[in-house]
Amino acid sequence: MSLSPEDVPLAKAYRLLNHGPTVLVTSAHSGTRNVMAAAWAMPLDFQPPKVLVVIAAETFTRHLVEASGEFALNVPPRSLARATVEVGTVSGRSMDKFQQYRLKTFSAKCISAPLVEGCIAWLECKVIPNAYNQSQYDLFVAEVVSAQADPRVFADGRWKFEYASEDLRTIHHVAGGHFYSIGDVVNANQ
């Protein structure tokens, strides 16, 4: 990585997801790890920060998250769009997707799931178990216990995409590998 991630104060962690980017969900348990893509993730609370993510029942990630009670949400930039599609279309049950798709990782601060290098934000999360939401809706509530971001695009509690390379913009999945990157600043007073 060209720059080191910087800590994001937990009270500002919701801002990493507030604009609706697609994320990579990383997980680990008992020596096995995995990564999948998720468009259905969002903030749920400010402080302590909580998030929601939908993790389908048949996925290998679901098994690792339920076994470990932890996951990380990694926010991929445009340069990882292809990898995001790739890890979103195959199962990690029979392969290590990090190796297969050449995704390097680094250690999280508070959980065992790895964090994906080249992403621009990382939220380390501990599941708040809820059997009904998990079984009925594949829906996981979790508390964010650590947050980091790439200071080239997130600093002083704000995204700063307009000052960085286009390759560092978040990607927003519509369907079938069709993404938009985040665009221009909108001045709501004009």
- H or E stretch covering 171: strand 171-175
Neighbours of 19 (CB within 10 A): 11
If residue 147 lies in a helix (H) or strand (E), which one and from where to where? strand 139-149
Binding to its own copies in span 33-72, by CB under 8 A: 39-45, 50, 52, 54
133 contributes a contact to its own copies by CB under 8 A: yes
Binding to its own copies in span 92-111, by CB under 8 A:
none
Cα separation, 96 vs 87, in Å, equals 10
The binding track of 109-128 with respect to its own copies, each residue x by CB under 8 A or -, is: --------------------
131 sits near its own copies (criterion: CB under 8 A) = no
Q: Which of 87, 140, 161, 168 binds its own copies (CB under 8 A)?
A: 161
| Positions that interact with its own copies (CB under 8 A) | 15, 18-22, 39-45, 50, 52, 54, 78, 81-82, 84-85, 130, 132-133, 137, 139, 141, 157-159, 161, 169, 171-175, 177-190
